[in-house]
Amino acid sequence: MSSQSQNINTANVLNGAEALGWGWASQVAPFMHKRRSWLVRGGLALFGLGVVFALTAMLGFLAFVYSLDRFERKPETGADGIVVLTGGAQRIDDAINLLAEGYADRLLISGVNEKTNREQISRLNPGQRHLFDCCVDLDYRARNTIGNAIEIRRWTERNHFASLIVVTSNYHMPRALVELEHAFPNVQKIPYSVAATIDPHDWWHSASTARVLFSEYVKLLAVWVRTRFESDPEHSKAARIMSGGNPLIQVAEPL
């Protein structure tokens, strides 16, 4: 067989192979290359977004931590009332001391455990027990910070107060103020941060402190987002979710 005949036969075989689908690799290879290129670019974009998100979250966390009070500072002015959000004996003790020093004429302790009575609380500060007979109100309804805001608003409106000194832990103060400002923005709120339990600047070499602060930072972000979309905490769907789907009575019992 001549060389020319062999070349013709070979060309016929290759053409037949492509007709049967055996030449798919030459057509798929460019497609696979483009797909890999797209996946690489998509992966890099997602990685870049993840890095940006992580850096933003970290910077936000640091800004939150270093904005917290490390030391307690007495208010520069008095107010109509004092409110303390329960969560530690030091908070109540400081609030009672402010009341005794004349910073306000009335105190609300919000979120008292239903098993705790007035006598038990008064023992926390035996030198000021007489104040409990005239000037201290107890709120047993609130179950969390949303409930605190609801009950404090009711107490403030009932007493026609225009200004409050707010007492809570330093790490809890930002979230408490967001909730209170959302519930009743027309009342002045003067923060008094209790700094006896956590030094925020100690977070980087204390795992327990870091956990508390990061958890509070996440809660603060969630509250900030929630309050952008809800008009009234008493009708908060998030409050129901946070209470395990139970009615709002689990957050703040109706009057």
Neighbours of 106 (CB within 10 A): 18
- Residue 213 pLDDT: 95
Look at residue 73 and tell me if it is in a domain.
no
Look at residue 48 and tell me if it is in a domain.
no
The percent of the chain in helix, strand and coil, each rounded to the nearest 5, is 60, 10, 30
Residues 6+ apart with CB under 8 A from 14: 23
* Burial status of residue 211 (CB atoms within 10 A of its CB: 0-12, 13-18, 19 or more): exposed
pLDDT 10s digits, 172-225: 999 999 999 999 999 999 999 998 778 888 888 889 999 999 999 999 999 999
Quick check: 47 pLDDT over 80? no
**Domain span including residue 162:** 81-250
- Residue 166: left if φ>0, alpha if ψ -120 to 50, beta else—which one? beta
- Specify the CATH number for the domain of residue 97: 3.40.50
**Tally of domains in the chain:** 1
- Residue 35 pLDDT: 65
Quick check: 151 pLDDT over 50? yes
Look at residue 144 and tell me if it is in a domain.
yes
Confidence tier at 20 by pLDDT (50, 70, 90): very low
Report yes or no: 188 and 164 within 8 Å, Cβ to Cβ.
yes
Look at residue 212 and tell me if it is in a domain.
yes
Look at residue 38 and tell me if it is in a domain.
no
The pTM of this model reads: 0.76
Look at residue 203 and tell me if it is in a domain.
yes
- Residue 22 pLDDT: 45
Q: Residue with structure tokens 């952008």? A: 228
Q: What SS3 class is residue 135?
A: coil
* Burial status of residue 159 (CB atoms within 10 A of its CB: 0-12, 13-18, 19 or more): middle
Confidence tier at 32 by pLDDT (50, 70, 90): low
Quick check: 114 pLDDT over 90? no
Mean pLDDT of the chain: 82
